[in-house]
Structure 1
């Protein structure tokens, strides 16, 4: 079960005199993630390290920390909590004590994980976009069954033959719903999964 954040969140802690501040937010595109990093980075800080995961796309940045000690642990924190469509930035102000590679991995990954734990989350439901048609006589019952299945109707177009509906529905129930629609309309409906 994959989750995303419902709203931005933050977390801060001091580790051996270095201050770490983590900022996390739900994002739906790479551009949105990069805007989030630009808006929350502190260019007076020593390092602004980040990672995001959006479906199969992911990226991370160590921003001058030794390779693999900052961005990758942030990404691992995202993946370790089964999160998706999330961007996490961890800002570090160096306090004069070196943490070593293991210490950096624990600090960046731990700060990111704590930030994500504090955030409100919601399950990501894979939605299918469907168009279907039906006659006027079947519309009320059909709409009732769509709502029961968790569908959200985004468009209704009326014509002389009936109604064309466009809606989103959880992909896990789309197949059963197609059978239900065919039964309601006695096979006279058109059904097309757009995406």
Structure 2
């Protein structure tokens, strides 16, 4: 069992293809971090494939099973978006979007045929993907006077934390990235230091 702050996603965008009775299903898988990115990818693919009949998709974000969206884009309900999403669940992938572009070949495939086509196209795209494990991280801002900076830097080094940005004016300000499982330990220790202020950023 992976830590609860670890998730599986894909490293880079990939594509896959499936054909059935003249219809062509082109699957595009993208790693995403926000819902906003979904719109951008959809717009780009609609511009790239203006003659395609359908642009069906499913995305999933985060570790819960409730942050997702499916869209059949005119296909019979449940025959496109849901099979794509189920494939993401079965491979335990999240922070991912899969769009399947369909060029209609003139022959109706029926419900089982469509479910199979959207699922298979998605699997083809994921077969070509590099799956990576990532940690869910939170960002904190630390404000500290020069006299305590050494203590803070020592803790950052000891816990091998990522410093995203730092500025040293009258006060020192650091932004650090923390794995969710380390939050309690690290923030607890920082809060015990005198003259150190910690703020959750996101």
**TM-score category by the smaller chain?**
0.7 to 0.9
Q: How does 1:121-160 map to 2 (within 5 A)?
A: 121-158=131-168, 160=170
Pick from 113, 124, 128: which aligns with 2:123?
113
Following superposition, which runs of at least 4 residues in structure 1 exceed 4 angstroms of deviation? none
Normalization by structure 2: what TM-score?
0.79
Cα pair distance change 1:48/1:155, threshold 3 Å = closer
Cα pair distance change 1:63/1:156, threshold 3 Å = closer
For 1:166 and 1:14, how far apart are their aligned partners in 2?
A: 49
Residue 196 of structure 2 aligns to a residue whose secondary structure is coil
- Contact 1:19–1:95 (CA<8 Å) still a contact in 2? yes
For 2:42 and 2:79, how far apart are their aligned partners in 1?
A: 18
Normalization by structure 1: what TM-score?
0.82
For 1:89 and 1:73, how far apart are their aligned partners in 2?
A: 12
Q: How far is 1:105 from its partner?
A: 0.8
Q: Which runs of 5+ in 1 are unaligned?
A: none
Matched, 1:4 2:14: no
Q: For this pair of structures, how many residues does the alignment match?
A: 192
CA RMSD of aligned residues (A): 2.5
Residue 173 of structure 2 aligns to a residue whose secondary structure is strand
Q: Which runs of 5+ in 2 are unaligned?
A: 1-5
Higher relative contact order structure (alpha carbons within 8 Å, sequence separation ≥ 6): 2
